[in-house]
């Protein structure tokens, strides 16, 4: 685990304890994908990674697939012939994911693993 439930709560998280393990796993997999798995080999998880984990969980809780299914956005409504249409889900989710990418990138920028390799280093630009 990169973020414990107690740490999550200290950041301000309100998710139920029973729902946290799956959310933490999903966020951890995202961090591993972004960092080429570098965090997994570290002796201590940096505070910036913990903050990024919290942000990922918060966005998924608010805009993820489960949140969209439980609280769809009504885009239009008519009363005479009764018609509802749901929309904006894709746009909201896309905007949230882009914002999350910027936030996580900013949090992890300049953070290095135990060997001194930047967590976000992908090898691009190497000779």
Q: Which of 5, 97, 91 is nearest to 54 (CA)?
A: 5
For the chain, the structural domain boundaries read 5-108
Cα 119 from Cα 108, distance rounded (Å):
7
Which run of H or E residues covers position 65? helix 65-70
Q: Note the pTM of the prediction, 2 decimals.
A: 0.74
Is 90 exceeded by the pLDDT of residue 70?
no
How confident is the model over 35-51, as pLDDT tens digits? Answer: 999 999 999 999 999 99
Confidence at residue 96, expressed as pLDDT on a 0 to 100 scale = 73
| In the predicted structure, residue 71 carries a pLDDT above the cut 60 | no
């Amino acid at each position: 685990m990169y973020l414990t439930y107690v740490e999550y709560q200290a950041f301000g998280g309100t998710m139920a304890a029973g729902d946290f393990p799956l959310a933490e796993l999903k966020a951890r997999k995202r961090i591993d994908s972004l960092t080429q798995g570098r965090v997994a080999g570290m002796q201590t998880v940096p505070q910036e990674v913990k903050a990024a984990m919290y942000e990922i969980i918060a966005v998924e809780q608010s805009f993820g697939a489960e949140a969209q299914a439980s609280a769809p956005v009504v885009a239009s409504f008519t009363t005479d012939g009764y018609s509802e249409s749901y929309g904006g889900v894709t746009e909201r989710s896309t905007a949230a994911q882009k914002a999350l990418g910027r936030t996580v990138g900013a949090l992890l920028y300049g953070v290095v693993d135990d060997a001194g390799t930047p967590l976000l280093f992908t090898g691009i630009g190497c000779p």
